[in-house]
Structure 1
Amino acid sequence: MVSESIFKPCVLIPVYNHEQVIGVTVDAVLAQNLPCVLVDDGSAAGCAQVLDRIAAAAPGQVQLLRHASNRGKGGAILTGMQYAAHAGYTHALQIDADGQHRTDDIPRFLAQAQMNPDALIVGCPQYDETVPALRFYARYLTHVWVWINTLSLQIRDSMCGFRVYPVAPVLALARRQRLGERMDFDTEVLVRLCWDGLQFVNVPTRVGYPSDGVSHFRLWRDNALISRMHATLFFGMLRRLPRLLLRKWRTQRGAQ
């Protein structure tokens, strides 16, 4: 458990070829006097050079980590988490590098994390008119599977890349369970942490899709990974079914 008297957050941003927008995101983070951990997940030379300049311009505020080749968003997040633990940070606020998320909401997320230091603070997107309709409705398939696999509605949206992790439970999970390292990571880590008994705080946040945004979603590869993840989690839920049902019964009884 995280002591309420110790709260030391950092902002963690996985980056893969987002050279057009990453500078704006980092500037917004630094304007809030927050340390920033950038993980270059095997970006091309142009983006790598931009990240080098960002880190050089803010020594002591920006820590740049680098993968020699692309490992995926989940792999980048875990690399950043390991650094965060080594540097003494208790919490890592993850935000995407593509400009979808409102950096103005960072204080609200961190305030919730400080009040609930052992919980996961998860963004609950409020979309504007820029969201692609197919992507918007397809998310509900994952939502339903998450509700089935956790036997709860605790997790309103498991795909939003704006969240605050308590670092220690994530690394403890990663030590005993190999997690997906690509687009399957965001959902899998939340479901497994829910199985571990962590609580969730859902925070509404506005999300937009810039017209010049860069998406690294690969239709066939990532859909196959996500489908396999849901199947694996479903059978994992069945193995845990008695314990999950008992927890649910105790929660409902305690609420009476």
Structure 2
Amino acid sequence: MGEFGVLIPALNPDEKLVRLVDELIMEPILKHNIIIVDDGSLPEYQRFFNEILAQYPDEVVVLRHESNQGKGAALKHGLSYFSEWCPNIEGVVTMDADGQHAVTDVLKLTRAFNGKDLVIGSRQFSQDIPFRSRFGNVLTNKLTHFFTGLDISNTQTGLRIVPSIYVPMLQTFPENHFEFEFKMLLNAKANDIQIREVPIQTIYIDENASSHFRVVADSLSIYAQFMKFIFSGLVSFLLDITLFAVFLKLMGTENLSSVMWATVGARLISGAVNYGLNRQVVFDKQGDKTLIKYCILMAVQMLCSGALTYLIAHTISQSGNVGLATGAKLIGDGLLCLLSFQIQKHIVFKRRSA
């Protein structure tokens, strides 16, 4: 079994952090590379960090932020430290400082780790779990599956083993709060990092009162990852429909040839906008290969859109007019949109890790 680092972001901890470190030190595969990131804790909490350093000066390093920067920022700081000072470790264990991750579960994750997969500890959410934790996790899990196809039972778990090959990518993420951990999952799929779930104990102390999760702000930042695709699709869709109606009106006829040419003209412009947004904002990819695959998809979709628009319009009425054709295009493109997203998600904007 390879060597592991342990990374614990901490904000205003208590004695549970001291006990956690005591337990980690007892495990030979975990005791040598323990990093705690003090994310701007208040002065009255410094005694817990000092107690740990006094007891384990050779095993534990405490990195400090002068002010609170967020869990994501703390994780990135610790990962950067491991990259620079501990280049031989195979993976970094991340865990919370509030005592809700058991060391026995950490050991379960290490046994499941193969050096290249992202291993996460997954809790089961029964009715005994605090409502805000249960509701937030279930909702995020469902949205994640819908938008990405990832079937993960606990997307918000903080207990993970991050393979070292994934660390350089994580350091480029701009996110600094809880959405950092969520994006870690989303980008793992895009970079061919497999995600492996390991069942762990469900531990909530005092109704999860020690959690620093900001219900409104952090929830919005997580769900913003989903809203990016909705935004890019809406902008491109409205542009495409508007240009289609304008081009069809300028041609003055609604026969098959006009419908196809209006479809092509509108889609070339809206497609360029959609590609730019999806590449930079939604799927966060770069490279010419995505452009080639996207152009192929767009060409096929244009033909299908034009044919569907003409078929639907002339099925409804043989007379034909711009309004009817535009309405038919709305129906046809709506059907094609879901298929297009799945193709972009699984084929166009998927890439292998460097």
Q: TM-score range by the shorter chain?
A: 0.7 to 0.9
Match of 1:170 in 2: 167
Question: What's the counterpart of residue 21 of structure 1?
Answer: 16
Q: Is the 8 A contact 1:173 1:193 kept in 2?
A: no
Residue 128 of structure 1 and its aligned partner are, at CA, apart by 6.7
More helix by share: 2
- Normalising by structure 2, we get a TM-score of 0.62
Aligned partners of 1:102 and 1:207 also within 8 Å? no
Letter of the structure 2 residue corresponding to residue 99 of structure 1: G
| Counterpart among 22, 33, 40 of residue 42 in structure 1 | 40
Q: Which residue of 1 aligns with 2:146?
A: 148
Number of paired residues?
Answer: 237
Cα distance, 1:231 vs structure 2? 1.6
Q: CA deviation at 1:246?
A: 3.8
- Alpha-carbon distance in 2 for matches of 1:20, 1:59: 18
Distance 1:58 1:129, change over 3 A: farther
Deviation at 1:133, TM superposition (A): 2.4
Change (3 A) 1:90 1:233: farther
CA contact (8 A) 1:128 1:207 kept: no
For the pair 1:223 / 2:219, whether they are aligned, the reply is yes
Q: For structure 2, which runs of at least 5 residues remain unmatched after alignment? A: 233-281, 285-293, 295-340, 349-354
Cα distance in structure 2, aligned partners of 1:220 and 1:16 = 19
The alignment yields a C-alpha RMSD, in angstroms, of 2.4
In our comparison, the structure showing a higher alpha carbon Rg is: 2
1:203 maps to which residue?
198
Q: Are the counterparts in 1 of residues 6 and 35 from structure 2 also a CA contact under 8 Å?
A: yes
Q: 1:43 to 1:72 in 2, by over 3 A?
A: same
> Which residue of 1 is the match for residue 346 of structure 2?
245
Kindly indicate whether residue 103 of structure 2 is the aligned counterpart of residue 103 of structure 1. Answer: yes
Corresponding position: 1:122 with 2:117? no
Q: In the alignment, residue 245 of structure 1 is paired with which amino acid? A: H
Write the distance in 1 (CA, Å) between the matches of 2:229 and 2:42: 34
Question: CA, structure 1 residues 216+233, in 2 after alignment: closer, same or farther (shift >3 Å)?
Answer: farther
Name the aligned partner's letter for residue 93 of structure 1.
V
**Greater share of strand residues, 1 or 2?**
1
> Would the aligned equivalents of 2:13 and 2:98 in 1 still touch at CA under 8 Å?
yes
- Whether 1:158 and 2:259 are equivalent positions in the alignment is no
Shift of 1:226: 2.0
Looking at structure 2, the residues matched to 146 and 246 of structure 1 have their Cα atoms a distance apart, in angstroms, of: 18
Give the residue type in structure 2 aligned to 1:109: L
Label 1:108 to 1:45 Cα distance change in 2 as closer, same or farther (>3 A).
Answer: same
